[in-house]
Amino acid sequence: MTVPRALGRLVLTAHIVTAVGWLGAVLSYLALDIVASVSEDMAAVRAAYFGMDLSIRYVIVPLAIASVLIGTVNALTSSWGVLQHYWVAVKLLLTVFATVILLLEVQSVRYMAELASTSADPRNLPGSLPHSIGGLVVLITVAALSVYKPKGLTPHGWRQQLRDRGAAT
């Protein structure tokens, strides 16, 4: 299903903004996570956990959900389709996977922030560096797929292409 060009560009712009915003927010979160994991300054570690909690709940999660939803709308309303090209399908799967892992991680980050607010030493908390780094790698991979658009139609894409050619003749 295609939409008028102006609407398509609006949807694409919204998708780029949410995806790039998500990537930037994860980079900021990673900086806080590094401070929480390696700093010897108890106040800095405590502040890092508070910042991580706020950024994941009020910035990263909303951007992730918006990116999945707007990206799906973008794919459905563009000539690329959702399941016609492997790169789009892989991009969607990676984005949904990253969002699910993120949603599962929110409670852990909130718990660590709550523990950091007590009189206990927050420097003993585990941090979430593996998740931060993994999320960043996934988001960079998704961005690279968007730029390089590797060739290859899915079986659904081949059938759709054959139908379109048949309808044109």
Percent of the chain residues past pLDDT 90, beyond the cut: 82
Residue from 19, 125, 112, 141 nearest 72 by CA: 19
Distance CA 93, CA 123 (A): 35
Q: What is the pLDDT of residues 44-68, one digit of tens each?
A: 999 999 999 999 999 999 999 999 9
Q: What is the pLDDT of residues 1-44, one digit of tens each?
A: 778 999 999 999 999 999 999 999 999 999 999 999 999 999 99
CB 15 within 8 A of CB 71: yes
Q: What is the value of pTM for the model shown?
A: 0.91
Q: What is the pLDDT of residues 79-100, one digit of tens each?
A: 888 999 999 999 999 999 999 9
Distance CA 161, CA 165 (A): 6
